[in-house]
Amino acid sequence: MNTFGDILLTAVAGVTLLAAPTSPGIRGGAQPGGRLAGLAAAGLPHQYAALAERSGSVANGFRSKLVIRDMATGRTMATRIASRPANSFCDLTGTPDGRTFVAEACKVTVTPLDGGLEVVTRPVRFCRLTVDGQGRVGRLRPLRIPVPSIVSMDGATVSPGGRKLAVASASGHDADLARNPAIRLYNLSTGRLLRTWRWAGRADIIGRNGNDVSIDPLSWTADGSTIAFPLMTGPEEKTQVRLLDTAAPGSNLRRTRRVLNLGSGPGFVEGFGGEVDGPDSMITPDGSRIVASTVAVCCHGLDAKTLMTVSEFSVATGARVALLHSVPVPQLAVIFLPVLWSSPDGSTVIAAAAPPTGETMPVDIMSGRGITPLLGSMAGISQLAF
């Protein structure tokens, strides 16, 4: 991620994220039997979407297909391949009810170069796919919404009702920060630009930023009135989480409400004791909490310890109200933990830890009942959407 300068983001093998209940100290055991019993009450969708690696030629190894899976069984309900001129997908978002998904189709070109391979990705279009109440999966339908370039795109998130798409992008990127980051809101059906909000100057809405990662910077409240987004205003500044009122007048992101600062700043350096900003956060659908990943570093020298954590913070006060998950890892061997889905009040969360290359991505559901692995093979999966 180009926003974190010297922070080393190295995946740690064998670490599984445990999303957890909102009350600190509550821990449940794994539940292999009847693993999804009672979870429907939390509002979990009946299906989820994933970008899966395509098999076949070496070139196909850099391309992905879109699969829809049944939440209760992990069974693949449908598979979709990007239509020409696209041949892959490079981003994915969905509504919390699992009924509408928006994928960014792209063209991946693989060329032999100096004994290796040069891989170039070019965005082509946004596409929509819907699933009806009987589980019938529709066809991919192209949208008229313009797609930012691969280097300026930070992320796109469909609104809970499936009628709007919020797109985060920037006019360019410096070594550490983006220039003029913006959030644009489009009508999903017509492609009409509804609103634009911009932060003039150097700052970064922390998202994809040209990297193939499953971090989505934007999240909505259930009523569609508010978008939460993480922002950095300097390479050694704390990450802010801000709230954008989509109905309020004005177009200046600087006037949005800052609800909390993540981390203790300044930048992550050897021997630093404190908490480092996390690049992934989301607002709970009821608007009461922010679920965020952070990295905490304790002590110095040989006694140094690093903790990968997922916590909840109060939107009203900015205070941490629950530590959901904490895993000790070697110092400087750090990954952040993407948060993928939350029930209205945060009592049930789905989250994942990005794995080392060649490993599967562990994904778990956790509530007061305990930990429930998400069903369906995660081998070759680069991104999930709920």
Question: Looking at the predicted structure, is the pLDDT value of residue 221 above 80?
Answer: yes
| Burial group, residue 49, by CB count within 10 angstroms (0-12, 13-18, 19+) | buried
DSSP-assigned beta bridge partners for residue 293: 310
Are 66 and 92 contacting, i.e. CB atoms less than 8 angstroms apart? yes
DSSP-assigned beta bridge partners for residue 352: 363
Q: Which of 287, 284, 361 is nearest to 96 (CA)?
A: 284
> How far, in Å, CA of 203 to CA of 237, rounded?
10
Token pair 């049930």: residue: 348
Helix (H, G, I), strand (E, B) or coil at 139: coil
The reported pLDDT for the residue numbered 9 is: 28
pLDDT, tens only, 13-51: 222 223 333 333 223 333 433 445 555 656 889 999 999
Within the chain, what is the greatest distance between any pair of CA atoms? 58
The reported pLDDT for the residue numbered 127 is: 97
Neighbours of 283 (CB within 10 A): 26
Residues 6+ apart with CB under 8 A from 78: 67, 68, 137
Domains of the chain: 39-385 (2.120.10.30)
> How far, in Å, CA of 227 to CA of 222, rounded?
10
| Burial group, residue 83, by CB count within 10 angstroms (0-12, 13-18, 19+) | middle
For residues 220-246, average pLDDT? 90
> How far, in Å, CA of 78 to CA of 131, rounded?
10
> How far, in Å, CA of 185 to CA of 386, rounded?
20
pLDDT, tens only, 285-332: 999 999 887 776 665 556 666 777 778 899 999 988 887 777 676 655
DSSP 83: P
The reported pLDDT for the residue numbered 8 is: 24
pLDDT, tens only, 138-191: 999 999 999 988 778 888 999 999 999 999 999 877 666 778 999 999 999 999
Going across the sheet that includes 141-142, the strands are: 88-94, 100-113, 116-130, 141-142
Phi-psi region of 161 (alpha: psi -120 to 50; beta: other; left: phi over 0): alpha
pLDDT, tens only, 112-140: 888 788 888 899 999 999 999 899 999 99
pLDDT, tens only, 52-97: 988 766 666 789 999 999 998 999 999 999 999 999 998 999 999 9
Question: Looking at the predicted structure, is the pLDDT value of residue 266 above 70?
Answer: no
